[in-house]
Structure 1
Amino acid sequence: MSGTSILNVRGDSEYVSSLTPYEPLLCHAFIATFVCCASGVIAGVKPAALFNFRPEAACCAWQGSRLRAKTCELFRLFTKEISAHGVSLMTVGTCHGRMALVAYRPELIDELLQDSDICAFLDNAGYPTTSSRQLMRAFRLRLARYYQAKTLKTYVSEDVVNGASAVTPSVEFPHEMGVVFGYPLEDVLGFIHKQPHTCRGAWCAYGNAELARQRFERLAQSEGACLRRFRSGSSLVELLAS
């Protein structure tokens, strides 16, 4: 990418014109989505975040296959730049024109893998736990299967409406990923086993409600501070450096 780095995009302006030949509005729309949805990862208080990006909503000059190609190129360059700040990005699927992505900090996930209970839980679920790289690769495969099945189900539903009949494979969302998103193991297990929750916030909690509320508040403060800085003029690279 020539000109200014995409990481210099700020939330108080519509675009950075020097990002050409890449579409400035596409770059800004993606960075704004990234900061909004992955602020906990940017702030270093969450290991990972799953979010969607819809390129067509960027109102840029490209459409169709050209827009998809340019978006993939944008992701490739963004992934390279942001890796220097300890953050990785991977595309895990598409559905209804939305691209599903996971932003994560390998260092924080490696720290999770030092917890014997979390490792035992992931081992039992069939995941490799020797490194964040292997774990996230396995999660990517499971998420890809989930989104592929979801897309196929949409097409089949349209066929049924038109009078055709078909059977679609059932693929569950890999809820084990909750531990990677920073949810306590007891909450992930409680959700998977459909236990009655004790408290709701950024996720459903199944243990001590007061402790859960404190966790929600700390996360909200960190994410809120990150978003406010971005919207007040800080660039993504400044957020990552602080």
Structure 2
Amino acid sequence: MPTEAVLNQLSSRKVTESLMMQIILHCAPVLKDIKMSSMFTVPAAYLKFVRSAFRGTGIRVKCLCQGAGRAVVYVYREAEVQQCLEDPQVAVFLQQYGYESTQAEACLNHLGARVSLSARGMEHYPHEMGIFLGYPLEDVRGFIRHEGKESRYTGYWKVYGDVTQAKQIFQAYDDAKECAVMEYMAGKHMSEIAC
């Protein structure tokens, strides 16, 4: 094998290993089944790699939008997202932003359209995204009402409601990250890390 081909293969391997570590860091709470979803951005060329990484985990992968060589990826546990969207208070809240259904697939398609419009500068960022990431409704409403200011605490999201509960959740997320990273470093595959 020519030297150039070997170097390209090694370089590609480093990129995918780095990307896998980033995915595990971003998605550890989802992998450990203590969070319903996560969102991150990857080079669009690696979208297929991301999908294959989650095979066998029970976690779904949806590209919300892509452009300028990047893809916004949403990974989620479908039953948990569906349960969240069926909450009557959440459904009423989302109706303000044009969500006409409580079905996960329809809502995610609408969210993807809103993210895409935002990425092109045609609409403000859809801050209702917090609902789809499992943030408490009170915190999502507070963030929108206060335009991201005056939060009572900041961790994985800005907290406007129950700080004590949020801190416990943030600690659980940190613990999940540590556990998932250690398992990955020990040679486990994503399907073995996922609960």
Compute the TM-score of the two structures, normalised by the length of structure 2: 0.81
Give the superposed CA RMSD. 2.5
Partner of 2:5: none
Aligned residue number for residue 139 of structure 1: 111
Q: Which residue of 2 aligns with 1:120?
A: 92
Amino acid at match of 1:234: K
Aligned counterparts, 1:194-213, within 5 A:
194=146, 196-213=150-167
Q: Kindly state the Cα deviation for residue 210 of structure 1 after the two structures are TM-superposed.
A: 2.0
For the Cα contact (< 8 Å) 1:93–1:148, is it kept in 2? Answer: no
**1:120-162 deviation digits (Å, cap 9, x = unpaired):** 111222113331111111111111122233xxxxxxxxxxxxx
Distance 2:17 2:173 in 1: 25
Please list every run of 5 or more consecutive structure 1 residues that lacks an aligned counterpart in the other structure. 1-19, 56-67, 150-168
Amino acid at match of 2:187: G
CA contact 1:198–1:207 (8 Å) conserved in 2: yes
Letter in 2 for 1:140: G
Task: Give the TM-score taking structure 1 as reference length.
Answer: 0.67
Structure 2: gaps of 5 or more residues: 1-8
Change (3 A) 1:79 1:54: closer
66, 82, 87: which one aligns with 1:93: 66
**Structure 1 partner of 2:6:** none
Pairing 1:40–2:29 present: yes
Larger radius of gyration: 1
Identity of aligned residues (%): 23
Aligned to 1:29: 18
Q: Of residues 55, 76, 80 in structure 2, which corresponds to 1:104?
A: 76
- Residue 209 of structure 1: CA displacement? 2.1
Q: Secondary structure at the match of 2:81?
A: helix
Given that residues 55 and 191 in structure 2 are in contact (C-alpha distance below 8 angstroms), is that contact kept between their aligned partners in structure 1? no
The answer (yes or no) to whether the contact 2:39–2:73 under 8 Å persists in 1 is: yes
Aligned: 1:50 with 2:50:
no
* Structure 1 residue 239 displacement after superposition: 0.8
Measure the CA separation in 2 of the matches of 1:36 and 1:180: 19
- Code of the aligned partner of 2:39: L
1:68-125 per-residue CA deviation (whole Å, 9 max, x = no partner) reads: 4xx35x34xx536735432122222234x44321111211101112311111111222
Alpha-carbon deviation of 1:26?
A: 4.5
Alpha-carbon offset, residue 226 of structure 1: 1.7
Give the direction of change, closer, same or farther, for the CA distance of 1:81–1:199 in structure 2 (3 Å limit).
closer
**Alignment partner of 2:124 out of 169, 172, 183:** 172
- How far, CA to CA, are the matches of 1:83 and 1:234 in structure 2? 14
- Aligned residues between the structures: 183
